[in-house]
Structure 1
Amino acid sequence: MTEAAQKQQSEESEKRERSPGGKFMLVLLTGFLLAIPLFASWLLIYDRQSQSEQAEQSIVTGWGGQQVFSGPKIVLPYKAKVQGSVEQDGKTVTRTEIVMQNLYLSPEAMTFDSDIKTEVKSRSIYEVVIYNSNVTGLATFKLPDDFARSGIDPATIDFARAEIRFGLSDARGLAANNMLSVDGQPLVLQPGRGLGETGNRGFFAWLDATDLADGTITVKYDVKFRGTESLTMVPSAGQTNWSVTSQWPHPSFTGGFLPKNEVTEAGFTAKYAITNLALGSALTSTQASQQVYPQSNNRPYTSFDSSGEPSSVTINLIQPVDLYDQVSRATKYGFLFIGFTFVAFLLFDLIGGVRISSVQYILVGVALILFFVLLLAFAEIIGFALAYITASLATIGLITAYAASVLSTWRRASMIGGLLASLYAVIYILLSLEAYSLLIGSLLIFAALAGVMFVTRRLDWTRTLQKRPSS
């Protein structure tokens, strides 16, 4: 044999012979490299979720977004004296000017009902919950008993030029046949001039509020509007009672106050009872008139919670399952899939006498990562549960068939398949039991580590492996 042939044979022998420690480090490095395509699959999920949100927005374009409803409030213009300093002939002169300001008056008591009729609107594989809401209410207004403490002279209030305002965050959703009456007299609704709680969007009506000077005003309204996915109400009355009914079976109640509610498969009912003492807000507030400041600065007083956000209550009409969140959570367990499978192959490599190359580890790892892509693709069409079963069976079948060739026997391959089936089942349980996922996951890893330590307890990690014939 020539010297070159001997050298080549020696190099090939060195490639076939590695210490267990070196083999372990090589497999560990391969697993870390597979983090790159695993992260790419997570980015794919995020991208598809973004596309889903954009598709939902396009579905409801012109319908009405997530609505925020506020009011009614009566706006009373009045004259106020404002002092200001100006420079005149090199001297500072103090002047008193008469300007128009607005007094915002909240209802003493307000009771209203909302009937939310929902439907699911879809385009291609995307769906979004839309609704029609009919709000009917009764509000009573009067000047507070301690109004004299406000510092406003009732004689300066122009009751004849008052307005009654409602806030609605997306006025595109307003339907026809809305009605408003004050003490039985119908009023004509006008667009714009909403309330600060809704970004000054909404509608209003001109009102002669002379009766407020020494009495009360009763306001009745029937407002219909469209919205998407959620309805928020910003309370401001002395006593607010809000009743909501809907046939949607999956509501979520959030915000500063929670209702008494009943949820069944046929729908839900919710009842809120909120006082201004709980809100921490007064029934009157003053703001500079639009004649002095632009409308964007004309933000009436509202109560705020500890986070600085306006106190409000929200009913979310949620879908029972967000498949993108579930697929994203499954992807976070990707290292468990790769780690457990690689450990099984490594044990056959180190103890079973079957040589497995780095390329074969990479191919198995890619098949495991492809599971998440299949899961996402199928979940968008057939739902998460069926998609999980389909992607699991496809991945287990592929890796088991490949392992039968790599490990030389179907018996060993069936052990790999059984391991993967058990692992996919456990991960699905982890996804279902979110509260205990950390506990179960940590116990699973501990048990796997204990098993590997037991099986390899007599293995000499420093010796060089000699290739043995496969059985």
Structure 2
Amino acid sequence: MTDSTFADQPPEPISAPNPWARRWRGSGFEAAKRILFLSLLILAMMIPLGMVEGVVQERAQRKLDVIAEVGEQWGPLQAVSAPVLVIPYDTMEMRPKADGTELLTRIRHYATFLPAANHIVAKTKVEKRHKSIYEVLVYGADLTINGHFEAPDFTRWNVSPDQIYWNEASLAILLPGARALRSIDLSVDGKAQKVDAGLLPQHPRGQGLRADLDLGAGKPFDYSIKLALNGRDSLSIWPLGGQSEIDLSSDWPHPNFIGSPLPASREITKDGFSGHWSINHLATGIPLAWRDGEFSLDTAGMNVVGVALTEPGDVHQQTDRIVKYGMLVVALTFGTIFLMGLLKRDRVHLVQYLLIGAAISLFYLLLLSLAEQMSFGGAYLIASLVDIAIVATYAGATIRRFIGLLTGLILAALHGYMYVLLQMESYALLSGTIGLLLILVLTMVATRKVDWYAIGEDAAARA
């Protein structure tokens, strides 16, 4: 077969380019398709970020379990109150019999009195206990409670002195964490009193200690209580009494004052803190005296004042806050690569995006694992450097060296900015909003000369 044979055959017709295809490619459809692809890819990265956030929350819950476990061994969240005076008395009342008649019967009642004034001084010394990789804050507290009871007044209830059993009076001390009590001394008018465990049915609801008293003719008396106990996390005081003066101090420099009202005065230094409360019983809504059936003192609904020992820089809380910004980091990183690809006419494959997104996601996991072993600042620095190096090197080797360098700089700026946001409290939202506005302005400036309608037209011509 010769060349002339082919020469005799007519040439194959060349199909004309489809004007509709060029119209779609040149009318912004190609740009919309790429942006939609990028958006779906960013949303898909929520899956690994959500998995990382789940790990953070799981580790945080594990820490809470360890704190509760150590608390069971060392001491619970402690709450202490001034003592409550309970005095029995009898009344003669008509009670029905089985045959329908009534019989005059002696009935036992109880009257409860609060101290006219008391002064509670508590000093705590904080210790750090370690279990596995977790650190738990515990404390030992020494408390002194001094106060005064006025002579119990039964005339308001028309109870005569011969109906009152002064020798069966008792003091009740509300102390739910009595199992962590190290020692207690109680004295009434300078005389030591024996303290017994548990409260009786006539005492206020809850757990605590009691002491039997013989008040003689019902005279006023002073009392003094010294106790030492162990606890964790917080120390609360129930302000029971006509006027309660409360002073709390500790060697821990990071207090969180709890309850209502807040301390009238406080002082916080690097060596510890102190706070003072002055509370009148009118502010608590608790009367100074009542009979059974008139009022029930229930610790579950009582206001407390006190302090909780906060731990600044908790690694799980900070890591959780950082992970919540993960979607923003992924979006800005992918957006940088996408825009630079448009400007430099580079195409980035799906696999390249996924690998870069995986490196960003692993940054948070690396941060958590390092922060549990060392300081959060050091862990953040190491994890950031590793993440920046991996992403910048890979982008520079597979896409373009300039894009790799720019992506690394963007990541470094983002990690630094996120760390600064972590240190802020009052201005975190404002700073974050300003940062987002700045990023939006920079994006507008970088794309101000991009012809979105022309994207894909050169590729169609080459085809």
**Which residues of 2 match residues 368-407 of structure 1 at below 5 A?**
368-407=360-399
Question: Which residues of structure 2 form unaligned runs of 5+?
Answer: 1-24
Shift of 1:422: 0.8
Alignment partner of 1:325 is 2:317: yes
Name the structure 1 match of 2:145.
137
Deviates more, 1:241-250 or 1:166-175: 241-250
| Residue aligning to 1:274 | 279
CA distance in 1, matches of 2:282, 2:379: 51
Alpha-carbon displacement from aligned partner over 1:237-289 (angstroms, at most 9, x marks no partner):
1111222332222222121122222222222222222111222322112336x
Asked whether the equivalents of residues 375 and 388 of structure 1 are also in contact (C-alpha less than 8 Å), the reply is: yes
Pairing 1:200–2:192 present: no
Q: Is the 1:327–1:375 contact (alpha carbons within 8 Å) kept by the matching residues of 2?
A: yes
- Contact 1:232/1:314 (<8 A) preserved: yes
26-35 or 73-82: bigger deviation: 73-82
SS at match of 1:381: coil
Whether the 8 Å CA contact 2:337–2:403 is kept in 1: the answer is no
Structure 1 match to 2:242 = 238
How far did residue 152 of structure 1 move? 4.6
User: Structure 1 residues 85, 340: CA separation in 2 closer, same or farther (over 3 Å shift)?
Assistant: farther
User: Structure 2: how far apart are the matches of 1:419 and 1:82?
Assistant: 86
- Tell me the SS of whatever aligns to 2:244: strand
The Cα offsets for residues 272-329 of structure 1, whole Å up to 9 and x where unpaired, read as: 22111222322112336xxxxxxxxx994269xxxx9412101112222222111111
- Cα distance between partner residues in 1 of 2:385 and 2:304: 47
Q: Which has the larger radius of gyration?
A: 2
Q: State the Cα distance separating 1:383 from its structure 2 match.
A: 2.1
2:261 pairs with 252, 257, 260, which one?
257
In structure 1, give the amino acid aligned to 2:395.
Answer: A
1:148 pairs, out of 140, 146, 155, with 155
Structure 1 residue 35 and structure 2 residue 26: aligned?
no
Structure 1 gap segments, 5+ residues each = 1-16, 289-297
Matches of 2:275 and 2:207, distance apart in 1 = 26
Q: TM-score by structure 1 length?
A: 0.84
- How far apart, CA to CA, are the structure 1 residues paired with 2:281 and 2:438? 56
**Contact preservation (8 Å) 1:197, 1:234:** no
Cα pair 1:179 1:223 within 8 Å, conserved: yes
Question: CA offsets per residue over residues 313-353 of structure 1, 9 Å max, x none?
Answer: 01112222222111111111111101100110111222211
Cα gap change, 1:441/1:461 in structure 2, threshold over 3 Å: closer, same or farther? farther
Structure 1 CA distance, aligned partners of 2:343 and 2:223?
Answer: 84
Q: In the alignment, does 2:354 pair up with 1:346? A: no
**C-alpha distance in 2 between matches for 1:196 and 1:62:** 31
1:460 alignment partner AA = W
1:432 Cα offset (Å): 1.6
Shift of 1:234: 0.2
- CA distance in 2 between counterparts of 1:333 and 1:299 reads 52
Separation (CA, whole Å) in 2 of partners of 1:99 and 1:40: 66
* Residue type at the aligned position of 2:109: Q
Structure 1 residues 249 and 446: alpha-carbon distance in aligned structure 2, compared to 1, 3 A threshold: closer
Which deviates the most, 454-463 or 330-339? 454-463
Q: What's the CA shift for 1:356?
A: 0.5
Task: State which drifts further: 239-248 or 229-238.
Answer: 239-248
Q: CA deviation at 1:452?
A: 2.6
Partner of 1:175: helix, strand, or coil?
A: strand
Q: Distance in 2 between matches of 1:150 and 1:37?
A: 71
Per-residue CA deviations over 1:328-385 (Å, capped at 9, x if unaligned) read 1111111110110011011122221111011211111111111111111111111221
Point out the more displaced range, 269-278 or 193-202.
Answer: 193-202
- Pair 1:187 & 2:205 matched: no
Q: Aligned pair in 2 of structure 1 residues 327, 98: CA closer, same or farther (>3 Å)?
A: farther
Matched letter for residue 62 of structure 1: Q
Structure 2 CA distance for partners of 1:196 and 1:155, relative to 1, 3 Å = closer
Q: Contact 1:168 / 1:194 at 8 angstroms: preserved in 2?
A: no
CA contact (8 A) 1:27 1:361 kept: no
The equivalences for 1:68-467 within 5 A come to 68-80=79-91, 98-143=106-151, 147-150=154-157, 152-176=159-183, 178-193=184-199, 200-212=206-218, 215-259=219-263, 260-287=265-292, 300-301=296-297, 309-409=301-401, 411-457=402-448, 458-461=450-453, 463-464=455-456, 466=458
AA paired with 2:114?
S
Summarize the Cα distance change of 1:320–1:455 in structure 2 as closer, same or farther, 3 Å threshold: closer
| Alpha-carbon contact 1:403-1:413 (below 8 Å) kept | yes
Please tell me whether the aligned partners of residues 167 and 197 of structure 1 are also in contact (alpha carbons under 8 angstroms).
no
Question: Partner residue of 2:10?
Answer: none
Q: C-alpha distance in 2, partners of 1:196/1:52?
A: 40
Q: What do residues 430-465 of structure 1 show as CA deviations (whole Å, max 9, x unaligned)? A: 222232222222222223223333433432257425
Instruction: Give the percent of matched residue pairs that are identical in Structure 1 and Structure 2.
Output: 29
* CA–CA distance in structure 2, aligned partners of residues 26 and 448 of structure 1: 21
